[in-house]
Amino acid sequence: MKYRPLGRTGLNVSEVSLGTWAFGSPSIYGSVDSDAAHRAIRGALDAGINFFDTAPLYGTSEADGIAEGVLGKALGGDRDKVCIATKFGRYHSRGHTNELFDAKTLTWSVEQSLQRLSTDHIDVLFFHSPTHPNNIKDDVWTAFDALKSSGKVRFTGLSCGFITDTADMTRAWADTGKIAVAQVAYSLTYREWEPIIQHLGEKGVGIVARESLANGFLAGVFKQDIVFPEGSLNSRYPREEIVERVELADRYKEVLVRGDVKSLAAAAMRWVIDNPNISTVLSGSRKLEEILDCATASEAGPFSTAEMAAARKLHTKDFTPA
């Protein structure tokens, strides 16, 4: 595993990292066996992954932060060897569409996350996908300062939602130094954020790429006739779009899979890593073998100019991420 600076934070993070949404959202991903989750996280550690992303929202209406609890338990005594990023502002227990970006919620949320993660500090705390600057209360910044002074939070981040909602806010927060890290959706099939990624990189903001396997479509395992379970993220797509996504994934596989890039998933991750502004790219899998496959992208060589040109030629439109 290779490592990169997380912007100007002074933290060095693995090029491939692990997102934990699938470890705490049974209504979307199905129940997770705790032993299997433990093996997956420990296996990621053994593979050199040192950046883990989670959130209170990765839970249920009865229990926030299930994924945080799973992660904290699995890391155990190795917590100080890794960087933990979590979020605040959205909670299933409070209606997941509600945006609660105020000082009181922030302070409460951090204390709850610290307890579930079994740690005394959070390395990066993201605003969880605010949709408009007006939803951010002024007192939240003073509360962030207090949390940083106490050592409970090290760096402020913004997990960006839809670009139409948050592009201007993301630029402004980077320009004024309000955030040290940003998290954006970015993949072979979704490149809308590229101008913002470039801008963030120029400002020294660390960038975490998410949804880089397009919720499984770039893992290379879906067939055109696949039927997704009701309520799953991919069940929203019409049959025509599913077919189009699968066909495109097959074409990417033809031009990017090679000797040291043995799967489409690894190729999709490698393509993201080849953007020098990206600090780390999240694998969202909960299966250890899939996480390890993604991790191989870090040791693979960069794509050639011809390979990048072939991938660029295939990209004729963006597919909206989950």
Active site residues: 58
Give the Cα separation of 243 and 230 in Å (integer).
Answer: 18
Record the tokens describing residue 271, joined without a space.
Answer: 């393509």
Question: Helix or strand or coil: residue 225?
Answer: coil
Pinpoint the alpha helices (H) of 189-281: 194-202, 239-256, 264-273
Residue 130 half-sphere exposure toward CB, CA atoms < 13 A: 22
* Buried residues in 125-146 as b, exposed as e (16+ CB within 10 A): bbbbbbeeeebbeeebeebbee
Residue pair 234/216 in contact (Cβ under 8 Å)? The answer is yes
| Sign of the CA dihedral with 113 first, then 117, 120, and 125 last | negative
Burial of 57 (0-12, 13-18, 19+ CB in 10 A): buried
Q: Tokens 């960087």 identify what position?
A: 83
Helix axes 288-299, 34-46, angle to 10 degrees: 10
Q: Which residues contact 204 (CB under 8 A, 6 or more apart)?
A: 7, 8
Give the Cα separation of 47 and 167 in Å (integer).
Answer: 34
